[in-house]
Amino acid sequence: MLISAPRVITADAGHQIFVPGYVVLAGGRVTGASPGPPPRVPDIALPSGTLLPGFVDLQVNGYYGENFQNANAEGWAKVVGRIPETGTTALLPTFITAPLSELGAALRTVSGFIPELTTGARVLGVHAEGPFISPTRKGAHNGAWITDPTPAAVDELIAAGQGVLRLVTLAPERDGAMAAIARLTDAGVMVSVGHSDATARQVAQAAGRGARMVTHLFNAQRPLHHREPGVVGQALTDPRLTSGLITDLRHVAPEACVLAFHAAPRRICSVTDAAASAGMPPGRYLLGGEPVEMPPGEGAPPVRADGTLAGSALRMDAGVANMVAAGIGLDEAVAAATRVPADLVGRPDLGRIAPGAAADLAWLGDDLRTRATWIGGELVYTRPGNGLRGMPAGADGGLD
């Protein structure tokens, strides 16, 4: 299948932008991408906008009224089936701090049905955000459930998450954290520094033990100070670390987002930190089994009863648009939502348009909102009225 577009962003090495360009797909993979007019009549000719890789979101608590941590198989299927509406084609469902036994039970439960989720966005594993975090930087997490990463606790989490646990956020200043980072890394679980009051030196030590990420940069962590750079300062200057950034412009001001992109080029990955309220009307929802309130207002994040921000209502395509509005180049904003997170979790077959990569694509309109999404070369979502030419019979309408 050949798809042409007024603009193609490959997000591959070199940040190539083709104006115009085309992509060739076969067997669920990209077989080629080139600038200029296509060599034959395209199967699908996109009349406007940009064709780019599908988004990869490494922090998603829930969406469409479902909280991953408590949802059953049907709830998971609902979210992964609908989230391509936002351009997202791969994600890490995220569990926040809970009693260790409950986290273990949840991990064991989802490991039984994740392999059966064969339609919709790719589930890359589970992100456990806690419980080994700082009570002074807990954000919306329940402080009563925070605990030290003892060898027994870490082994319990690894055993429960066998085959599905992909990422753990912890505070490296906690007792036993350095050994825990090494143990998790040896078990094939990536470690991210987050919800942490660590000094810059402690964050550097964590990177030395194997930590490779910082969770939601600027939020729930020791801030930058000119005499103690803290988590933020180390994250922005340490080439071993890539930082997640909630790009809703509510969690982090536009100027701080621009600072992060400029200070750490190719080491910022956009995340939504979306909660169950994302994609839903204002009202009460759950995050980590506890209530959050989704206030009225476009893009307003949910909050706990005390006003603490509790996840977001962000779409990945909106996050890219927000970064462009803040002053980040479109190609750089797209890479932060595609190739950078894909590479971080060891999936070089995702997040780029390049020969051999999975044919996971998103078409964004000139307003940078998702108009169509393909996963493995199959059209899984299209906005009604797109007017795509050459679309397989019956495909129009997608999941709307």
Give residue 393's pLDDT band: very low, low, confident or very high (50, 70, 90). very low
Least confident range of 68-82, 237-251, 273-287, 294-308: 294-308
List, for residues 162-207, the tens digit of each pLDDT value: 999 999 999 999 999 999 999 999 999 999 999 999 999 999 999 9
Give residue 384's pLDDT band: very low, low, confident or very high (50, 70, 90). confident
Which residue, 35, 38, 43, 30, is CA-closest to 19? 35
The CA distance from 118 to 165, in Å, is 19
Rounded average pLDDT over 254-265: 98
Give residue 290's pLDDT band: very low, low, confident or very high (50, 70, 90). confident
Mean pLDDT of the chain: 94
Q: What is the pLDDT of residue 386?
A: 77
Q: List, in order, residues 6 or more apart from 241 with CB less than 8 Å away.
A: 193, 203, 207, 211, 212, 213, 214, 234, 235, 267
Give residue 392's pLDDT band: very low, low, confident or very high (50, 70, 90). very low
Which residue, 206, 207, 229, is CA-closest to 218? 229
Q: Look at residue 159 and tell me whether its pLDDT is greater than 50.
A: yes
Q: What is the pLDDT of residue 389?
A: 44
List, for residues 350-368, the tens digit of each pLDDT value: 999 999 999 999 999 999 9
Catalytic residue selected from 273, 317, 331, 360: 273
Whether 273 is a known active-site residue: answer yes
Query: Under a CB-based contact definition with an 8 Å cutoff, are residues 137 and 221 in contact?
Result: yes
Q: Look at residue 398 and tell me whether its pLDDT is greater than 80.
A: no
Q: For CATH 3.20.20.140, list the domain ranges present in the chain.
A: 55-344
Give residue 288's pLDDT band: very low, low, confident or very high (50, 70, 90). confident
Q: List, in order, residues 6 or more apart from 89 with CB less than 8 Å away.
A: 53, 54, 55, 56, 121, 122, 350, 360, 361, 362, 373, 375
pLDDT exceeding 90 applies to what percent of the chain? 90
The CA distance from 334 to 195, in Å, is 26
Q: What is the pLDDT of residue 391?
A: 42
CATH topology of domain 55-344: TIM Barrel (3.20.20)
Amino acid found at 165: L
Q: Look at residue 91 and tell me whether its pLDDT is greater than 50.
A: yes
Q: Which residue has the tokens 């927000």?
A: 322
pLDDT exceeding 70 applies to what percent of the chain? 96
The one-character DSSP state at 337 is T
Residue 347 in 3-state DSSP? coil
Q: Look at residue 19 and tell me whether its pLDDT is greater than 50.
A: yes
Q: Look at residue 76 and tell me whether its pLDDT is greater than 80.
A: yes
Q: Look at residue 8 and tell me whether its pLDDT is greater than 50.
A: yes
Rounded average pLDDT over 300-304: 91
List, for residues 196-255, the tens digit of each pLDDT value: 999 999 999 999 999 999 999 999 999 999 999 999 999 999 999 999 999 999 999 999
Rounded average pLDDT over 21-34: 97
Full strand arrangement of the beta sheet holding 44-45? 29-35, 21-26, 2-5, 44-45
Strands (E) in 147-306, as ranges, are 165-170, 190-193, 213-214, 242-246, 268-271, 283-287, 290-294
CATH topology of domain 2-52+352-382: Urease, subunit C; domain 1 (2.30.40)
Which residue, 2, 8, 123, 82, is CA-closest to 363? 8
Rounded average pLDDT over 134-149: 96
Rounded average pLDDT over 130-154: 97
Q: Look at residue 298 and tell me whether its pLDDT is greater than 90.
A: no
Give residue 390's pLDDT band: very low, low, confident or very high (50, 70, 90). very low
Give residue 299's pLDDT band: very low, low, confident or very high (50, 70, 90). confident
Give residue 394's pLDDT band: very low, low, confident or very high (50, 70, 90). very low
Q: Which residue has the tokens 């193609």?
A: 8
Which residue, 23, 49, 51, 50, is CA-closest to 36? 23
Q: For CATH 2.30.40.10, list the domain ranges present in the chain.
A: 2-52+352-382
Q: Look at residue 399 and tell me whether its pLDDT is greater than 60.
A: no
Residue 186 in 3-state DSSP? helix
